Amino acid sequence: MHSQHFTTEPSANDTTGRDLTVGDVPALGSQTSGADRAPLMVDVIIAGCGPTGAMLAAELRLHDVRVLVLEKETEPKSFVRIVGLHVRSLELMAMRGLLERLLPHGRRRPAGGFFAAIAKPAPKDLDSAYAYLLGIPQPVVERLLEEHAVELGAQVRRGRAVTGLEQDDEGVTVELADGERLRARYLVGCDGGRSTVRKLLGVGFPGEPSRTETLMGEMEADAPQEEIAAKVAELREIHPFWLRPFGGGVYSVVVPAGGVGDRAQPPTLEDFRQQLRAVAGTDFGVHSPRWLSRFGDATRLAERYRVGRVLLAGDAAHIHPPIGGQGLNLGVQDAFNLGWKLAAQIRGWAPDTLLDTYQAERRPVAEDVLDNTRAQTELLSAEPGAQAVRRLLTELMDFDEVNRHLIEKITAIGVRYDFGEGPDLLGRRLRDIDVKQGRLYDLLHRGRGLLLDRTARLTAGGWSDRVDHLADPTAALDVPCVLLRPDGHVAWVGDDQQDLDAHLARWFGTPLLKASPAPK
Ligand SMILES: Cc1cc2nc3c(=O)[nH]c(=O)nc-3n(C[C@H](O)[C@H](O)[C@H](O)COP(=O)(O)OP(=O)(O)OC[C@H]3O[C@@H](n4cnc5c(N)ncnc54)[C@H](O)[C@@H]3O)c2cc1C
């Protein structure tokens, strides 16, 4: 069941199995076809219902793609890890109307101070309407994204581990741990850093193994809060170390694992006490742990993001140390990039190369994140040379451009995809701006393209089933018109209809409808 058989792409208009509904997906083993190959039951199977898988399922459902998410665990994750949603992810959430759901569960914090924990405030005029970080428990993000996907019609099955796959020219057959076999046109491995899908594909995952480990847990501490806060402030820049109060004497504790315990075994409370004493000179009287864990700083990137009809996204495609808080953000942004492209492929209007732009655009972004986490790791070393470089960088960050560059990297608002020659805006995401109907991002909730036209004389008529047109001379833009992809990136800038048509065809395929006249 682990072999790879794939030949060509399906015809663009292939709608095999489209008459089946997503609900109550039957077991593949119970079906056969004339060609001894079971019919396709859904369009896309997603392995893994973490943040990446849930986001991707929702994005696909926006385009009416039939999605089944298979999740190994029977219950959602129980341990509460606070993650930071950075500016670009907050923008994505706003683009799909999800930000309002997330905000009540998190705490807004300033956007700056995340590069190697160097305490510099973000430039005041950071280019976003959402220029803050949202600290929020990861299980809450996962729950809300899963709920959103299910509301849109995705089916999630828990306690279903993917163990095998086989692909051919029509689809992918997926085998589950209990032997059940399911079939879809595409499979996406969103199954985390130890991805079974990636291993089954035989895709290499080169990089560096873990060199240092860190203990993380939640527990009570008897020491006074002021004493704990003072020690954390003193040591935070030298060690990956903190005790963050949750209220009621409960703390989230992070401390270097330093060689304690047996790596194969989960850490113990005594490991935490021992390491706190080694780093801070006291164990702060910690007791009554809620949960204890350990994580490493391995850094790896998948050699390919696509093999035929199987794709990889999120931690399945890249892992790196959590410093700077970028992993979940990166995965959700992968899903946002992939969703509309895979949907276009399935709906039959994708230009030939569209699906491959997923790897072409997202792998370099992951490469850059891996590099910035490598750099941050060095800057956190207690070695004298590294400390000297850190002091120098801290001075350099007083220059606005340096500080801005690093913050735009961590928050991902500096990402510019390579769409070829053109103005600086081309390939970048467009910030949320005022338009005549309200806010630009509110117009992107349905995941369609958008022509934002200040000349009010252009048309996207032939593509009106995929692209909306907003003729708005009042839009706060300093260019005449932009064409936005469903992920909010600028696919074209200009004012010429012929040029626009060529770019519409490049990203949205051949026009299906007869062009309607430009709006009056
Ligand atoms: C201490 C720590 C702090 C972090 N802080 C941040 C932060 O502040 N900001 C940030 O952006 N990121 C942070 N991260 C990283 C973030 O947690 C991960 O990048 C994120 O969880 C990746 O999401 P994912 O959906 O790609 O993978 P995962 O969250 O790993 O989800 C994968 C899912 O697939 C399931 N699965 C696995 N195998 C199978 C299979 N064979 N079949 C079916 N299902 C399967 C798993 O059960 C899981 O539910 C942190 C990580 C750590 C360790």
CB-CB contact of 156 with 71 (8 Å): yes
For 213, residues 6+ apart whose C-beta sits below 8 A from its C-beta are 256, 257, 263, 294, 295, 296, 297
Q: Ligand 1 pocket: which of 191, 200, 293, 338 to mutate (most atoms <8 Å of CB)?
A: 191
Nearest atom within ligand 1 for CA of residue 138: 17
Helix (H) or strand (E) holding 134: strand 132-137
Tens digits of pLDDT across the chain (520 residues)? 443 332 223 333 332 223 233 334 443 333 334 345 566 689 999 999 999 999 999 999 999 999 999 999 999 876 667 789 999 999 999 999 999 999 999 999 999 888 988 889 998 899 999 999 999 989 999 999 999 999 999 999 999 999 999 999 999 999 999 999 999 999 999 999 999 999 999 999 999 998 888 898 889 999 999 999 999 888 876 666 889 887 788 898 989 887 655 666 789 999 999 999 999 999 999 999 988 888 888 999 999 999 999 999 999 999 999 888 999 999 999 999 999 999 999 999 999 999 999 999 999 999 999 999 999 989 988 789 999 999 999 999 999 999 999 999 999 999 999 999 999 999 999 999 999 989 999 999 999 999 999 999 999 989 999 999 999 988 999 999 999 999 999 999 999 999 999 999 999 999 975 544 544 4
Ligand 1 cavity residues, CB under 6 Å: 47-53, 70-73, 81, 83-84, 138, 161-162, 190-192, 196, 216, 295, 314-315, 322, 325-329, 331
Q: How far apart are CA 147 and CA 140, in angstroms?
A: 10
CA-CA distances (angstroms) from residue 283 to 212, 251, 269?
21, 13, 11
Nearest CA to ligand 1 atom 37: 191
Nearest atom within ligand 1 for CA of residue 51: 25
In whole angstroms, how large is the CA radius of gyration of the chain?
Answer: 24
pTM: 0.88
| Token couple for 21 | 């509904």
| Token couple for 256 | 């270097």
What count of other Cβ atoms lies within 10 Å of the Cβ of residue 280? Answer: 19
Nearest atom within ligand 1 for CA of residue 326: 11
Quote the ligand 1 centre to 393 CA distance (angstroms).
Answer: 31
Quote the ligand 1 centre to 50 CA distance (angstroms).
Answer: 6
How far, rounded to the nearest angstrom, does the alpha carbon of residue 498 sit from its chain's CA centroid?
Answer: 35
Helix (H) or strand (E) holding 373: helix 357-379
CB-CB contact of 87 with 131 (8 Å): yes
Q: How far apart are CA 335 and CA 388, in angstroms?
A: 39
